[in-house]
Structure 1
Amino acid sequence: MSIPTSALKRARELAKVKQTEMAKLLGVNPSVISRLEQSEMTDDQMARRYLEALDTPGSKEVLEFYGRDWRMSERPSVMHPDRESLWEAELALQKLDEFQRSSQYDALLDAPLTLIRDNLESSAAFLDKTDHAVAFVGSVGVGKTTALSLLTNLVIPDKGGVPQPVFPATGGRTTTSEVIIRVQPAYGIGVEPRSEDEIRLLVSEMVRAVVEGKGGIPTELERAVRNMADIRKRRNPSDIKSQIDPIAELLDSSSAEDVVEAIVNRMKLPERTETQLILSETNEEGLAWLSKNITAINFGLDPRFSLPQRVTVFVPKAAMRNSTFDVSVIDTKGIHGTIERSDLEKLANEGRTLIVLCSAFNDAPGADPLKLMKSLSALGSDAFERERLAILVLPQNDQALKVIDGSGEPAESIEHGYGIREDQIRSSLAEAGLPKVPSLFFNALSDQPGPVWDELNDRIARMRQHQLDRLHRFVALSDDLVTNADAARIQQARIAIAQEARAMAKAYKSLPTSVRSAHQTLIEELATGHPSSIAASISRRGGWDNFDIHHMIGSGVRADAYRRTADHLVKIKGRVESLEQRFEELPEVLGLLQTLREDLSDWRQEFLSRASSIGRNSFKPYLDGAEGFWSDLRARYGGGKGYREDIADQVKEWFEDNGELADARTKVDKRLEDAWNELVVDRLLASTLIEGEQV
C-alpha cells in the first residue's frame, strides 16, 4: 500500500486538525509533519500510523481505498471524482479475467468478452483523466476575456481595490493571439512566435494600407507591430484631431518596398528570441507579474519576444478558482467576419472540451454564436449530443431590468430579466432548427463569478456522464456474461447479426452523388467576411487564420459528406435497432448492439473529420498553382464598392468553369467513399465478425 502524502494532508485538513496537533497525536516534532506533507510519497508504515492516529471517517476512507487490490488498471487518487466508478470497472475486469481463465469458460464467448473488456478499458481511460478545456468563443468586444478572467479568479485589484482581469481587456481588438491558461507548479508564460515571413507580410499589408488609404491588418496586430518597430502614431501639434503617421513620413522619401524593409529591421527580430518566462510559485506577486509581462508581450513592448501566434499562460492551482477537474482555459481570438475557422473546428471536434459561446445580452444568443451553432449542426458535429456547448450571456449595467416580457412589461428583477432572455434564446434556437443549449448569465460588474464557474464545471461533469453511463452498462454486462451467459444462443445471435451486417455493408457501401458544392461555404463566407481579411487571405493564396479559404473548402466538403451519408446512417441504425428488439432477451448481445449503434455515431464523426481533410487536400494543389486566379483577385482590391460581391463572383466562376477541377471533384468522391468504407462500413463488419471469417 503506497499512499501519496497529498491524501494524508487532505484527511488532516478535512478533520480540521493542525500540523501541530497532528504532531502531538504522533508524538513527533511539528517539523516532521511539515517535511512529510511536502514530500510526494511516504512509506506504508508511516502512512498507516498517520491515518490511524487521525482516526476520522476521512482517514479510514483513505486507508480503505489504498488497501484495495488494483490489478487490471492503475489506481487513481482518492480525490478522483469518479474513483468508485473506476473501482467498479477494475472489479469487473478482474472478474472477466478470472472467468476467462476458468474451466467453465467457453471460447464461443471470446467476442462478447473482448467487446465488454475493451469498452470497460476505453471508458475507464477517458474517466481516469480529469483534464478538460473550457474554450471561450465570441465576437470581438463582447467581453469574453474579462468574463473568463473573473470566472477563473485570475484578477488583480486596481487602485480602488476593484478586481481587474490579469489579461489585457479593453473592449475588443486587444489580444494579438489565442491565449491558453494551464495549471502548472509555477507562474509562467510561453510564446509561440509568428514566423519572420508572416511578420514581413503583415508589415507589407500595413504599409500598403497607408499608401492606399484603406484596408490594413487587424488593429491589435498593427498596434503590436508599431510598438515593436517604435513607429507609433503621434499627436499632431497643429491639429489636435489628427495624428502624424511615421509610416507616411517614411513613404515621402522611400518606396513602399523600402519602407517595409526599414520597419522589419527596426523590429529587431533576430534579437527577439525569448519564448518563455518562469516565476516561482511562492512569489506573492505572481498574478501582478503575469499581468505586467503578458500585457507587454501582447502589445509588442517586450524587446525579448516576437509577435505571438499563440500564448500559453501557466498558473499554480491555488491561483485558479477551485475545480473538481484539471481545467485549462482557452481564450480564442475574437470572431470578426467569419466563424469558419480551423481553430474553432478543432475545438468542436475535441471530446474533452466545453465550448462556451459568449454573447451580449441584448441580442442573445448573438449573431456569431448562432451562426457557429448552425455551422456545427450542418457539419454533423456531435457537440450538441455530447453536451459540449453552453451559451454565456454577458449583460452590462442594468440591461437585465430593461428587457420586456411577452406582455410588454419590463422585468421585475435581474433574475426575472435573465429568465425572460433565456426563454427568448430557447425560442431563437428552436426557430433555427437547433437543439437546446444551456444558457448562463454573468454580469461582470454585479454578479458573483463563483456560481457561474461551478455551473461550467457541472457542464463538464455532464460531458463525462456519457462515459460513466457507458462504463456502468458494461459493468452490468460483464456480470451477466460471467454469471448467466448462454454460449450457444449468443453464438447463434452473432451469426445472425454478422449476416445482417454483411447485407448492410453491401447496401450502403456506395455514397450518393454530391448534393452541395465544395466551394459553397466559401461563397457564403465571402458575403459577410471583412474585406481586409479577405484581401489578406488572397495575398497568402488562401492561408490566413482570420479567413482560411482552404479550411472553408474543407468545411464545404464535410457539409456535403454529412448530407450524403445522412440517409445511410439512419437506415443502418434502424436495422441495428431491429436486431436489438430481436435479441433483447440476451443481455450480452443487446449490449453489443447498443454499443454498435453508439459506435456508428463516433465512426461517422471520424469520417466527417476526414472529409474536411479530403476537401482541403484535394483542391489545394489546384489553388496553389492558380497564379492567374490569385493575381486577378488581388487586382480587385481597392477598386471601389462591391469588393466582396465581385470576389465571390470570380471565385464561383473559377470553381464552376475550370475544367481542371473535374479531376479534383473525382478525387474527392473517391476519397470520401474510401473513407466511408474504411471508417464506417469496414468497422461495422469487423465488429460483428465471427471467428475464422474475414472482412
Structure 2
Amino acid sequence: MADQTENASHGALLGRFRSELGLTQAALATEAGLDQSRVSRVEKGEITSQAEVEKVLDALTALGSPHARGYKEFAAREWASLPPPSFFNPQRACLEIAEEALGNIEVFLADESRPWPLRRQIERHKDTLIKGATYLQKMNHNIAFIGPIGVGKSTGLSFLFDLLVPPTLASKPIDRPVLETGAGGTTICEVHVKRGPEFGISLLPLPDSDLRDLVSDFCAARWAVLKNELKESVDTPNVSREHDRAIRNMSGLTRRRSTKEGKIEYFDPVTDLVAASASEDEFRTRIFEMMNLPDRTRRELWYDSATRQHPMEWVMKTFREVNNGRLPDVSLPANIDLIIPDFGRSFGEMEISVIDTKGVDDVSVREDLDLRLKDPRTAVVFCTRFNDAPGVTTRSLLQHMQQTYSEPVNTGKVSILALPRADEARAMKDDAGDVAMDDAEGYAFKQMQVENELAGEDLAGVPMVFFNVQSDDPAPVREALFNQFNRMRSTVETRLFDLCAAADEVMKNHEAQALVAAMEEVAERLNSFLETHPTLPARERHAYTEALTTIRSVRYAATLWAATRRNGEWSGLNVVHNIGVGAAKDARQRSDRWFSSLKDYLAVMKGDEGLQLAAKTIDQMGRGAIATRTAFLEAVQRAGMEVYREPLSQSPVWGQCAGEWGAGPGFTGRVAVNLEKWFEQRADLKDKLEDITKTLWDQLVIAPMRRLVAENAPEVSPTGNVIKFPTRAA
C-alpha cells in the first residue's frame, strides 16, 4: 500500500477517519480484530504491515466511514507520472484522470511509428498537462486584501479570520482585533498571517538603503518646515503617518502632551533638535545615532507562557510594538508574519495564508499590488466603504488588470468586500425611493447598483460580498471569499479535462487518415492566417505616457516629492514600474485586433464540418493563443522597465524635479514637464523598446503559432522535401 516513509501520513488520516465517527481506538480495535495498542501504532505510523492497515480500513468502512473505502483504493493506486496528491485534494479525481492520461501518452510516444504530427501534438499536451496538474496538486493559496487607507480593511479581516483577543480582554468588541486598527495610516507594511508551530512574529527588516532614504525624507521634511517656517498642509513634504510615528519612537522623539492653563499643548522634541543642529546633515546624523540601528537585529519574537498573557493578547501587543517601532532591538519592517498555531484548520482542506497589504494612500497601480494581482495562487479581495462601493481603488485596479495584461475579472481571481457601518445598509433606497427594510435588503440594493456600474465599464462578473463587523456572521462571508479558490482551481481543472480528452481523441484515432488530413488542413489554414497577419500593428502611444498620466493625477505632492528623491523608484510611486505598465498597455491595444481576428478564424475552422475530427486541436490552439498573449504582455512590461531603468535613474532630471519643490503651487505639473522633455529627448530609448517589442512579438506569439503549423503539417519525405498541402475543394 505504501512505503515506510508514508506510514505517518497514512496513520494520521486513519486517526482522522476514526475521530470523524466519534470512535475510540478500543471500539475500532474490536471491529478490526486487533489489539488497541496495534491500532494506536497504526495511527502513529509505526505499523508497516499492509494487512493490519487494511483491517483497520475495512473496520472503518464497516463502521460507516465515508472515506475509508475510497482511501483504500487511493492508497493502492500507482503514481508513475505525477506525485500522489492529498487524499482530500478537491481536484483529486481530475488528477487521477491526468495521471492515467500521462501514462497513456508515455505508451503512445514509446512507439516511434506514430505519425510525427501526432507525436508532436501529444508531447505538447503532455507538457501542458504536467503544468496544470502541478498547480492543482498544491493546496496552498493566499488571499490578499487590498484597499485604501482608513477603509476598515485590517478590522474586517481580523473579524473574518478570528484574529481577535478574547472578549474579556477588550472593553468594546471593536477593540478586539489583533491587527492594529485606527482611522487609517496604522499598518506600516504588508502583514502575512499564516499557520505555524507556535504563536510568534517574524519580520523581514527594511533594507538598510531604504531605511536611510526614509529617515532622510523625514529629516528633510522636518527641516524644511521648521527652518523655513512652512505651514503644515497636505502639500507639505513629509513621510507617511505610520513611518513618521515609527521613526519618532525609534529615536525617542515622540511628541509629549501637557496641560497649561486648562489647555492641552503638545511639545515636539524634533523642534529643539533642529534648532540645535547647524545643518540638515547634522540633524540627520543625530537622528541616526538616536535610532541605534546596529543594535536592531532581532527578526523573530515568540510567545512565552511565563508572561501569563493570553497568546492572542501577546500577539496583539507585540505586533503593535513592532508596527510602531517601540522595540529597541527590532528594526523597521518591510513585511511582518503573524504565526498562529492551527490558523486556517477550520477553513477546509486548503492551507491558506491571509495578506493585509499596505493601504492605498494615493497611487493604486503599485508594484507590490501588481505582484498579488498576477500571482496565480493568490485570490484578491478589494475592500471598499459601503457607501463608496465599488470605490476608486477597486475601479482603478480592475481596469488596470483588464487593460494591461488582459486578466479576466470573472474567473474567481478577484472579489469586492464592502464594509458597511451601522445603519448604512438600511439607508439604501429602491427605485421607488423606499428605504431598505433590513441590512440584507440594503446589501441587495447596493449590489445591484455596483453591478450596473461595473457592467457599464465592461467589468461585469466580479463577485461582491458585504460584512458589517459589528453585526454580521463572518462564516458565510468567509465561505464566499474562499469560493474564489474553488473558481480559480475549477478553471484549471476544466482545462485539464479538455486536454485529457483532446489527447485521448488523437491517440484513439491515430491510424485514421481522416484525422491526419484534418490536422494538415488546420495547419494549412493557420499558416495562411500567419502569412496575412504576421506583424504587430504600429505603436499607439509611448510607454512613458502612463507614467506622466500617473504623475499628473497624484493627489498629494508629498508622494511625488518622495519619488523624485529616489530617482523615480519608490514603493508609493514607482515611475519605472509605470513605464512598464504603459508598455504593456500599448502592446495590448496593438495586439487586440490580431488576437480577435485569430479567435474568429479558429471559430470558423471549428464550425467546418470537414474539420470536426480536429475540433479539440483547434480548441487547444485557442487556449495556446491566450497563453502566448499573457507571456507577450508580461515580457513587454519587463522590457519597458529595463530599457528605461538605468538611463532614467542616472539622469540629472531627478535633481531638477526635486528642485521644483518650494517654488510655489504646481509642483506636480512642473515635474511632469521636466520628465516629458527628458522622455522626448531620448528617442533612442523609444526605438529600442519598439525593437524589443517587435522581437518579443515574433518570439512569443508568432513563433509558437508557426510551431503549431509545423507540428500539424505533413511529414518530411525521404528526399527531404515537404509534401505539399492537399488542395481544398472549391
TM-score scaled by length of structure 2: 0.89
Give the aligned residue type for 2:526: A
Which residue, out of 675, 693, 706, partners 1:651? 675
- Provide the residue aligned with 1:675 in structure 2: 696
Bigger Cα displacement from structure 2, 617-626 vs 79-88: 617-626
The answer to whether the aligner puts 1:288 opposite 2:325 as a matched pair is: no
Which residue, out of 665, 669, 683, partners 2:686? 665
- Aligned partners of 2:589, 2:354: CA distance in 1, in Å? 33
- Aligned partners of 1:40, 1:593: CA distance in 2, in Å? 52
CA gap 1:112/1:635 in 2 versus in 1, 3 angstroms: closer
- Provide the residue aligned with 1:501 in structure 2: 526
- Provide the residue aligned with 2:593 in structure 1: 567
The answer to whether the aligner puts 1:189 opposite 2:201 as a matched pair is: yes
Which residue, out of 67, 71, 82, partners 2:91? 82
Q: How far has the Cα of 1:501 moved from its partner?
A: 3.4
- Aligned partners of 1:96, 1:614: CA distance in 2, in Å? 37
CA contact (8 A) 1:516 1:559 kept: no
Q: How far has the Cα of 1:27 moved from its partner?
A: 6.9
CA gap 1:428/1:108 in 2 versus in 1, 3 angstroms: closer
Bigger Cα displacement from structure 2, 181-190 vs 19-28: 19-28
Bigger Cα displacement from structure 2, 334-343 vs 482-491: 482-491
Q: How far has the Cα of 1:558 moved from its partner?
A: 1.2
- Provide the residue aligned with 2:727 in structure 1: none
The answer to whether the aligner puts 1:580 opposite 2:606 as a matched pair is: yes
CA gap 1:293/1:29 in 2 versus in 1, 3 angstroms: farther
Which residue, out of 227, 245, 251, partners 1:229? 251
**Residue pairs, 1:123-272, within 5 angstroms:** 123-157=132-166, 158-160=169-171, 162=173, 164-213=176-225, 214-238=236-260, 240-254=263-277, 255-272=279-296
SS of aligned partner of 2:384: strand
- Aligned partners of 2:341, 2:659: CA distance in 1, in Å? 52
Which residue, out of 97, 121, 128, partners 1:112? 121
- Aligned partners of 2:15, 2:610: CA distance in 1, in Å? 50
- Aligned partners of 1:584, 1:222: CA distance in 2, in Å? 71
- Aligned partners of 2:721, 2:189: CA distance in 1, in Å? 51
SS of aligned partner of 1:179: strand
- Aligned partners of 2:254, 2:139: CA distance in 1, in Å? 46
- Aligned partners of 1:41, 1:640: CA distance in 2, in Å? 80
- Provide the residue aligned with 1:62 in structure 2: 71
The answer to whether the aligner puts 1:5 opposite 2:11 as a matched pair is: yes
- Provide the residue aligned with 2:474 in structure 1: 449
- Provide the residue aligned with 2:725 in structure 1: none
CA gap 1:315/1:685 in 2 versus in 1, 3 angstroms: farther
CA gap 1:534/1:583 in 2 versus in 1, 3 angstroms: farther
SS of aligned partner of 1:359: strand
CA contact (8 A) 2:195 2:343 kept: no
CA contact (8 A) 1:72 1:94 kept: yes
Q: How far has the Cα of 1:595 moved from its partner?
A: 1.2
- Aligned partners of 1:280, 1:81: CA distance in 2, in Å? 38
Give the aligned residue type for 2:106: D
SS of aligned partner of 1:555: helix
**CA root-mean-square deviation:** 2.7
- Aligned partners of 1:296, 1:262: CA distance in 2, in Å? 23
- Aligned partners of 1:416, 1:341: CA distance in 2, in Å? 36
- Provide the residue aligned with 1:382 in structure 2: 407
Q: How far has the Cα of 1:6 moved from its partner?
A: 2.2
Which residue, out of 49, 52, 58, partners 2:58? 52
CA gap 1:341/1:666 in 2 versus in 1, 3 angstroms: same
SS of aligned partner of 1:70: coil
Q: How far has the Cα of 1:684 moved from its partner?
A: 1.1
CA gap 1:387/1:77 in 2 versus in 1, 3 angstroms: closer
- Aligned partners of 2:171, 2:203: CA distance in 1, in Å? 32
CA contact (8 A) 1:215 1:532 kept: yes
- Provide the residue aligned with 1:275 in structure 2: 299
SS of aligned partner of 1:411: coil
Q: How far has the Cα of 1:215 moved from its partner?
A: 1.8
The answer to whether the aligner puts 1:631 opposite 2:652 as a matched pair is: no
| Structure 1 unmatched runs, 5+ | none
- Aligned partners of 2:200, 2:41: CA distance in 1, in Å? 26
CA contact (8 A) 2:542 2:686 kept: no
The answer to whether the aligner puts 1:534 opposite 2:546 as a matched pair is: no
Amino-acid identity (%):
28
**Residue pairs, 1:224-623, within 5 angstroms:** 224-238=246-260, 240-254=263-277, 255-278=279-302, 285-318=310-343, 321-384=346-409, 386-529=411-554, 530-582=556-608, 586-587=612-613, 589-623=614-648
Q: How far has the Cα of 1:284 moved from its partner?
A: 9.7
- Aligned partners of 1:518, 1:249: CA distance in 2, in Å? 47
Which residue, out of 28, 32, 50, partners 1:22? 28
- Aligned partners of 2:300, 2:524: CA distance in 1, in Å? 59
CA contact (8 A) 2:568 2:654 kept: no
Residue deviations 1:162-190 (CA, integer Å, cap 9, x gap)? 47222112231111111122333333332
Q: How far has the Cα of 1:301 moved from its partner?
A: 1.3
The answer to whether the aligner puts 1:641 opposite 2:647 as a matched pair is: no
CA gap 1:383/1:354 in 2 versus in 1, 3 angstroms: farther
CA contact (8 A) 1:583 1:590 kept: no
Q: How far has the Cα of 1:20 moved from its partner?
A: 4.6
Bigger Cα displacement from structure 2, 516-525 vs 360-369: 516-525
- Aligned partners of 2:410, 2:218: CA distance in 1, in Å? 44
| Structure 2 unmatched runs, 5+ | 226-235, 723-730
- Aligned partners of 2:467, 2:164: CA distance in 1, in Å? 16
SS of aligned partner of 1:156: coil
- Aligned partners of 2:267, 2:676: CA distance in 1, in Å? 42
CA contact (8 A) 1:137 1:334 kept: yes
SS of aligned partner of 2:193: strand
- Aligned partners of 1:533, 1:328: CA distance in 2, in Å? 30
CA gap 1:89/1:583 in 2 versus in 1, 3 angstroms: farther
- Aligned partners of 1:621, 1:537: CA distance in 2, in Å? 16
SS of aligned partner of 1:327: strand
Bigger Cα displacement from structure 2, 316-325 vs 148-157: 316-325
- Aligned partners of 2:271, 2:46: CA distance in 1, in Å? 61
CA contact (8 A) 2:605 2:611 kept: no
User: How many residue pairs get matched?
Assistant: 690
Residue deviations 1:221-268 (CA, integer Å, cap 9, x gap)? 111111111110111444744421111111111122112111111111
SS of aligned partner of 1:165: coil
- Aligned partners of 2:721, 2:689: CA distance in 1, in Å? 28
Give the aligned residue type for 2:317: K
The answer to whether the aligner puts 1:94 opposite 2:103 as a matched pair is: yes
Residue deviations 1:425-451 (CA, integer Å, cap 9, x gap)? 012112323232111111111111111
TM-score scaled by length of structure 1: 0.93
Q: How far has the Cα of 1:458 moved from its partner?
A: 1.2
CA contact (8 A) 2:173 2:470 kept: no
Give the aligned residue type for 2:245: R
